[in-house]
């Protein structure tokens, strides 16, 4: 799980900073949600993919800021 590993390393190096994760595929969302990320950026996704991801994030009740570009 490369996202989880990168997130773990980032938090080890700088635990004082918030963690932002950028994903470009809805299939990567479950792994991103397992991290301590406070921001998940949904990049280059279709409106339907963004809607799907936001629905999945809301179902987890995880407090995370979502950005879409």
Structure pTM? 0.89
Q: Of all helices (H) and strands (E), which one includes residue 67?
A: strand 65-68
C-alpha dist (Å) from residue 14 to 9, 33, 68: 9, 19, 25
Q: What is the mean pLDDT of residues 32-59?
A: 96
Long-range pairs of 44-50 with CB within 8 A, sequence gap ≥ 24: 44/69
Statement: residue 61 has pLDDT above 90: no
Q: How far apart are CA 8 and CA 3, in angstroms?
A: 9
Q: What is the pLDDT of residue 1?
A: 83
Written as six digits, the tokens of 13 are 């190096």
């Amino acid at each position: 799980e490369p996202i989880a590993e990168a997130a773990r390393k980032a938090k080890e190096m700088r635990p004082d900073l918030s963690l932002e994760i950028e994903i470009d595929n809805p299939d990567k969302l479950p792994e991103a949600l397992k991290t301590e990320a406070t921001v998940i950026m949904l990049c280059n996704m279709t409106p339907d993919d963004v809607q799907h991801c936001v629905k999945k994030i809301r179902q987890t009740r995880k407090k995370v800021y979502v950005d879409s570009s």
